[in-house]
Amino acid sequence: MTKPSCMPPDNDTRPPRFKAPQNACDAHCHVFGPHALFPYSDNATYWPPDAGKDALKRVHDKLGIQRAVLVQASCHGRDNRAMMDAIASSGGAYRGVCMADDTFSEKDFEELHLGGVRGIRFNFVTHLGGAPDLAMMKRVLDKVKPFGWHLVIHVNAEDLLTYEHFFDQFDMDIVVDHMGRVPTSEGVGQPAYQLLLDFMRRENWWVKVCGSERIAIAPPFYDAVPYAQGLIEVAPDRVLWGTDYPHPNIKKHMPNDADLLDLVPLIARDEATQRKILVDNPARLYGFDTPLSADKEKPMHNHMIQGVAVRHIARADKDAIRQLAECGSATVHEAQSRTGQMNPEMRPIYSGAQIAGSAVTVLAQREITGWCMWLSSFVSPVMYW
């Protein structure tokens, strides 16, 4: 069997002019094959030239990139072995985003999680087969939610408009690939881009300011800069950057990855923002500061039984809290790395802070549902949220 192929990447990566900070992360890249070891899917719409983990490592070494998030591409379908092999050989420098369907068991997802996967991707773009079975997608998301994974959506601009209400129902972090593939030829006022900005004002939405070569008209892709700048201005703490190496299905202008890295100081014009996008944001979302071995050393639990995840907690009236506090009070703790980030009423660091109930523990756990609040199962019945 043969399939249409696509242009090979430009592997003659030049030295970039921009120097990436230490622990910079390419948060969107792929490994393809080698197909003799990791065959491409019979259901794929294309079979690309091989671009395995060694080729990716050479590109990152030229760019000065130390970390990466490998995103499963449709050419491999739901066979995540090439990605998992690359993660396993990275010494903890890689994390992954898988593809899966509802034939995957809880054990399958647990193995992916222990191997470094932190998200699941669904393609909606027409050239890769169009939207998935939405009911199946919902079932899969219910399966992965206890692992604290996020949803990655690969959409065309029109898909943002078509599936707005479908996406809006998910109470989990959602990451948009390639700036929603909004074409720069349509201007920043186009409805899809404005909707993407609205999405980014919600605390669970993230975006990757990669794919400039996909949305721009021509090199050097400067017309994509205002779009990335607008997204960063709205939510600088929820923006990621990536190369998209090896750039599958590019039709005209195959980029040199150094050219894409050199766009970073144009879209993020100060060092603090550059560090957020390249280092801090991916480290927070993908847990780079926590070794994968830490997950393997602790048993996996059914977190949906042990606790109740609560988002967007509405604070009770303070007078009501004072009255309920007569039943007892408890210290409220902030989890590690979250000190000072809870709402003032939740912090035990201001004078007179109390909360009603007995033996209440509130944790913000990254590995469960993306920094959700978790209440222990022994919360007093007088505790209302």
- CATH number of the domain bearing residue 151: 3.20.20.140
How many folded domains does the chain comprise? Answer: 2
User: Which of 251, 268, 296 is the C-terminal boundary of a domain?
Assistant: 296
pLDDT band at 327 (very low <50, low <70, confident <90, very high): low
pLDDT band at 293 (very low <50, low <70, confident <90, very high): confident
Give the residue among 335, 333, 340 at the shortest CA–CA distance from 371.
Answer: 335
> Do residues 225 and 266 lie in contact, with contact meaning Cβ atoms separated by under 8 Å?
yes
Query: Would you state the pLDDT for residue 2?
Result: 84
Q: Which pair of structure tokens corresponds to residue 94?
A: 């890689």
Cα–Cα dist 255/179, whole Å: 17
What local confidence, expressed as pLDDT, does residue 279 receive? 98
Average pLDDT on 309-336 reads: 51
Report the C-alpha gap between 277 and 103 in whole angstroms: 35
Residues 244 and 320 in one domain: no
The domain of 370 spans 301-375
Share in percent of the chain as helix, strand, coil (round to 5): 35, 15, 50
The two three-digit tokens of residue 81, written as one number: 């072995």
Q: Alpha-carbon distance 291 to 274, whole Å? A: 24
The mean pLDDT value for 6-33 works out to 97
Maximum Cα–Cα distance for the chain, whole Å? 73
* Higher pLDDT, residue 355 or 6: 6
Inter-axis angle of helices 225-234 and 191-200, nearest 10: 30
Same domain, 181 and 118: yes
User: Looking at the domain assignment, is residue 306 inside a domain?
Assistant: yes
> What's the pLDDT tens digit per position in 32-44?
999 999 999 999 9
Radius of gyration of the chain (CA): 22
- Is 122 within a domain? yes
pLDDT band (50, 70, 90) for residue 136: very high
Last residue of a domain, one of 253, 269, 296: 296
Amino acid at site 168: D
Whether the pLDDT of residue 7 is over 60: the answer is yes
Q: Tell me if 97 sits within 8 A of 70, measured CB to CB.
A: yes
pLDDT digits (tens, 9 = 90+) for 48-57: 999 999 999 9
Active-site residue set: 244
Domain boundary (271, 296, 321) is at: 296
pTM value is: 0.78
Whether residues 246 and 231 share a domain: the answer is yes
